Structure 1
């Protein structure tokens, strides 16, 4: 009986490890497709690229039984789709992104180094406020600061916080975080995303420094 229990425990652990590896692999694929759509696809083709990506990401969420990592990447995909689509009709996709990210935050706020916080923060400051949309600068700041608490040296939390500060007119502090983003540790397997983000950081840094002068 003892040997049988040990065998069952081993099978359960092996199955769980395989499921985790499978999810990690599928998320990595979504990440690469996102980087391709966001940084390597012409502007006039991005809407279609992100539409396909949202469908792939949604299937991953379903297959993973709403794993927070999958919900985060579905939310990020919908956020990209909303940005590419533009206009009032894009708001429903931004709302979909927000709802997915809030669900992921509730399930596990620190998963993927606090990516739910980063993505929610960027949504809240980029989406128009009431009465058009759900944008909220106070919520944006709170989420972006939470993201930095979880991942203080990360390229994404520092970039988005810098971009938010730049938009708010706090150029000195924006420059500080743009510079932190530039020296952020490389992310294994995310070289394509890092390269694209670093260009955005450099552009934001130059714009903020000009405003200081």
Structure 2
């Protein structure tokens, strides 16, 4: 009898351990998702502080350091589209702050990150990967220096607007693209949509900074319309 009960106790202990493993796994899975979300939030917050509240001469170095952090996050969450999107945005901003021919390898890395995000799920963050990639295509020089292409830019920007019709950034970048194309009436229409797009309450610095850029763009468009 003792042997039988011992066997029962062993089996029960094994079952309990298995159940505990499953429960821990069930808890760990959402925890990982929350951690990825928090890491994205941290990247967003640091980017906004650098982009809008850091002196221009200091931005390139700070964005370079933030790019390294973003690379570490993509290594931890290689299947997370939001992580790749923000890695691309940070690299693109770094390239813009650095400027010159030396920025081309950085902007190409940004392009690769954004394409990776789109391959995973281009709809995340209101289509931010499409919008950001589109902005690269109209701001980067064309062949043979870079990969710039206005038609490709428009296709990507419009795709971003499909996922974020009211998004402040999606409308701002399309307005800026139209301004570069000298379509001033349409540019103003999208700039006004951007101005009235909902602010991100979790990212007040970014929303405030983008609104300032929108107003600057509206002023430039207004000058062309008169």
Query: What interval of TM-score do these two structures reach, taking the shorter chain for normalisation?
Result: over 0.9
Q: What is the alpha-carbon distance in structure 2 between the residues aligned to residue 208 and residue 140 of structure 1? A: 20
The equivalent of 1:149 in structure 2 is: 162
Counterpart among 32, 36, 39 of residue 26 in structure 1: 39
Write the distance in 2 (CA, Å) between the matches of 1:111 and 1:125.
Answer: 22
The match for 1:194 among 207, 221, 225 is 207
In structure 1, the partner of 2:122 is 109
Distance 1:35 1:129 in 2: 28
Pick aligned residue for 2:96 from 52, 58, 83: 83
1:168 corresponds in structure 2 to 181
CA distance in 2, matches of 1:10, 1:114: 35
Report the alpha carbon displacement of residue 58 of structure 1 after superposing the two structures with TM. 0.6
What does the per-residue CA deviation read over 1:162-189, in whole Å, with 9 as the maximum and x for residues that have no partner? 0000010000000001101111112131
For residues 32-68 of structure 1, give each alpha carbon's deviation from its aligned partner in whole angstroms, at most 9, with x where no partner exists. 1101111111111111111111011111111113421
Change (3 A) 1:89 1:66: farther
TM-score, scaled to structure 1: 0.94
Deviation at residue 146 of structure 1 after TM alignment:
0.4
Partner of 2:27: 14
- Aligned partners of 1:181, 1:3: CA distance in 2, in Å? 56
Based on CA coordinates, which of the two structures has the bigger radius of gyration? 2
Change (3 A) 1:12 1:172: same
Say which SS state the counterpart of residue 189 (structure 1) adopts. coil
Q: How many residues align?
A: 213
CA RMSD of aligned residues (A): 1.8
> Does the 8 Å contact 2:79/2:120 carry over to 1?
no
Matches of 1:137 and 1:6 in 2, distance apart?
57
Q: Which runs of 4+ in 1 moved over 2 A?
A: 1-14
Q: State the SS of the aligned residue for 1:76.
A: helix
Match of residue 131 from structure 1:
144
